[in-house]
């Protein structure tokens, strides 16, 4: 063992943990019950960045020998980093509307996201939300995405590409009162539509014919009127397992002097909506709270329909 340590030490010091691991693995094959060897393996795995396996090995070693200092050091260092995120409640009436993210960080991100592009087109999306949407689309596999608020078209392109990249046969309909004209994607239709008057552009027969699941993204003017109108309109049409995301409620956190305590337009609209429909939706806390409690622009805004329209 001492010989082995003498060989391994310089390799680890020289930043060659993969070579060290090969030597250790060969030795473990010879002596699979040697706890010193297994400890060395855990250290080496951690050096390599194979943190999950290193933690498993270190935990197993500690359960056999609580005095194994090296294994304890690894467990103490790795457990907090690898702990799975914890999520808040999914009941819409049991959640605070505040975000855990500090206001100065939110403001800094808000400034930057007005200057970001996707494939050369402005896309005004919170960077955390981009990953949340990627996961949502991958999990729900929506066959239809309806976006209210296209702006320059960057987010429409992003969702069109997400469908293609994930092998989903789907289509994005992106509505705006100022429709996008100079951006195109085979899976995206940019067209005129006012969130306050969606009846004018989407008739009941047309919506019933859309492929499901449906994902609706409300990202228009963030007024209570528009958000409330979009929620009321789609509540008539969302089916079990469909989703609606209400963006930018976190204006309450960004500008508490203007919208104190959940008083942004989207938050007010959500609270009014849940007075009648709290049982029809679940907050997707696995999205809202993935990076921090309400660590998203869509605070309390990822909603999954959990009833059929006929039950509501």
Ligand X SMILES: C[S@@+](CC[C@H](N)C(=O)[O-])C[C@H]1O[C@@H](n2cnc3c(N)ncnc32)[C@H](O)[C@@H]1O
Chain positions contacting ligand X, by CB under 6 A? 123-125, 148-151, 154-155, 175-178, 194-196, 219-221, 226
Tell me how far, at minimum, the Cβ of 181 lies from ligand X, in Å.
12
154-181 as b/e, with b when 16 or more CB fall inside 10 Å? bbbbbbbbbbeeeebebbbbbbbbeebe
CB of 14 to ligand X, least distance (A): 47
H or E, element range at 216: strand 214-218
Cα separation, 277 vs 92, in Å, equals: 9
Cβ closer to ligand X: 221 or 279? 221
Indicate the residue among 101 and 198 with the shorter CB distance to ligand X.
Answer: 198
- Give the shortest CB-8-to-ligand X separation in angstroms: 51
Q: Rounded CA gap, 142 and 155, in Å?
A: 16
Q: Tell which residue, 174, 208, 204, has the closest CA to residue 189.
A: 174
The tokens describing 234, both together, are 């789609």
92 or 153, CB closer to ligand X?
153
CA atoms within 13 A on the CB side of 167: 0
Q: At 105, which helix (H) or strand (E)? A: helix 103-113
CA proximity to 138, closest of 103, 120, 164: 164
Instruction: For ligand X, give the closer residue by CB, 151 or 282.
Output: 151
How far, in Å, CA of 103 to CA of 224, rounded?
22
Which residue number, 115 or 275, has a Cβ lying nearer to ligand X? 115
First vs last C-alpha separation in the chain: 69
CA 141, CA 159: separation in Å to the nearest integer?
11
The minimum distance between CB 272 and ligand X, in angstroms, equals 17
Q: At its nearest, how many Å lie between ligand X and the CB of residue 298?
A: 12
Of the two residues 95 and 125, which places its CB atom closer to ligand X in the complex? 125
- Closest approach, Cβ 291 to ligand X, in A, equals 18
DSSP 8-state symbol, 143:
S
Give the separation between CA 192 and CA 172, rounded to whole angstroms: 14
Report the residue number, 6 or 178, with the smaller CB distance to ligand X.
Answer: 178
* CA-atom Rg of the chain in angstroms: 25
CB of 118 to ligand X, least distance (A): 8
The distance of closest approach from Cβ of residue 97 to ligand X in the complex, given in angstroms and rounded to an integer, is: 19
308 vs 306: CA distance, rounded Å: 7
**Closer to ligand X at the Cβ: 151 or 237?**
151
Burial class of residue 208, CB neighbours in 10 A (0-12, 13-18, 19+): exposed
């Amino acid at each position: 063992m001492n010989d082995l340590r003498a060989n391994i030490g310089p390799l680890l010091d020289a930043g060659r943990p993969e070579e060290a691991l090969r030597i250790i693995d060969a030795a473990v094959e010879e002596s699979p019950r040697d706890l010193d060897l297994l400890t060395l393996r855990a250290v080496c795995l951690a050096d390599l960045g194979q943190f999950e396996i290193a933690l498993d090995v270190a935990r197993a070693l500690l359960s056999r020998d609580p005095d194994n200092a090296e294994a304890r050091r690894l467990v103490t260092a790795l457990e907090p980093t690898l702990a799975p995120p914890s999520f808040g409640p999914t009941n819409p009436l049991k959640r605070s509307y505040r975000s855990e993210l500090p206001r100065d960080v939110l403001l800094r991100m808000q400034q930057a996201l007005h200057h970001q592009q996707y494939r050369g087109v402005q896309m005004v999306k919170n960077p955390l939300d981009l990953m949340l949407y990627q996961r949502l689309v991958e999990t729900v596999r929506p066959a239809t995405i309806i976006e209210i608020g296209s702006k320059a078209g960057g987010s429409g392109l992003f969702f069109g590409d997400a469908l293609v990249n994930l092998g989903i046969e789907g289509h994005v309909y992106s509505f705006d009162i100022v429709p996008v004209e100079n951006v195109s994607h085979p899976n995206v239709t940019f067209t005129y539509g006012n969130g306050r008057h969606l009846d004018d552009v989407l008739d009941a027969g047309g919506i019933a014919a859309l492929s499901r699941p449906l994902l609706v993204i409300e990202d228009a003017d963030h007024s209570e009127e528009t958000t409330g109108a979009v929620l009321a309109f789609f509540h008539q049409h969302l089916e079990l397992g469909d989703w609606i995301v209400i963006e930018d409620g976190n204006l309450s956190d960004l500008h508490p002097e203007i919208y104190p305590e959940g008083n942004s337009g989207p938050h007010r609209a959500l609270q009014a909506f849940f007075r009648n429909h709290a049982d029809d939706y679940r907050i997707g806390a696995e999205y809202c709270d993935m990076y921090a409690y309400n660590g998203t622009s869509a605070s309390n805004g990822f909603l999954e329909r959990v009833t059929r329209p006929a039950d509501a």
